[in-house]
Structure 1
């Protein structure tokens, strides 16, 4: 299975890959998102270590069952060969209506078919008031004209 754009990345193809990942995560569909990873993909997400598509699907299902009205923006930080580094922020609320914003960095490594074989995520989050939210588009894909993280001062 091939998942273009393929490495080695140019700035243009790395930006396309980042946006495709953002769009996938904003779908909040664990099965769809897991298809972007190799069958034996390795993750570090905060203090949790996940290996393989079934584990990725289970992780994402748990995540989005708790992180309600999840909206994410990713922005390229650096790229070379088959690796991309991104920074990101996402907002969500819990089942009590408490809002949070998480910020982080991810390092990605891709195989020759464009599937992510490794993902290392460092994430910090903090509570925010609903009035402090910056991500207001309808659930799903972020509109093309929505400000980026840099535009929002994040």
Structure 2
């Protein structure tokens, strides 16, 4: 596991359930802001990712990946939920809604496994994701671009 001494990203391991929930919500909030350079700061400089069929290494690769992602996945809205945690690992399930350039809507479902260094930066991220075409009227994630409001239902509340 990578050790990063120049940045601390609380909460740091070992994670309590409450810490893990804070970490999950912070990740959700960051991704919903869709700023690749800012999001990448939550990861170690040499973070390793598997996202679907892509394998990334390092923050520069993360920034490039997220830039491409959010150019393709328009009107992106994400909800994450804690699934499980240990001392320095967190598992989440998530869903996000988006449309492509043709206007076709999707709901993407997935699971992520995260491993953190001592300073609270994510060193490893494994994501498995499936896309489901939906019609616009089937959308469930309705809030202005950015952070999901606290009163908006989560995944379990939406039976997802």
Q: Using structure 1 for the length normalisation, give the TM-score.
A: 1.00
1:31 aligns with 2:37: yes
Specify the alignment match of 1:120 in structure 2: 126
Give the whole-Å Cα distance in 1 for the aligned partners of 2:128 and 2:35: 22
Q: Distance in 2 between matches of 1:50 and 1:62?
A: 13
Shift of 1:92: 0.2
2:71 counterpart of 1:72: no
Runs (4+) of structure 1 exceeding 4 A deviation are: none
Q: Number of matched residues?
A: 154
Consecutive unaligned residues of structure 2, counting only runs of 5 or more, are 1-6
Q: What's the counterpart of residue 83 of structure 1?
A: 89
| TM value normalised by structure 2 | 0.96
Q: 1:126: how far off?
A: 1.0
Give the structure 2 partner of residue 142 of structure 1.
148
User: Where does structure 1 lack aligned partners over 5 or more consecutive residues?
Assistant: none
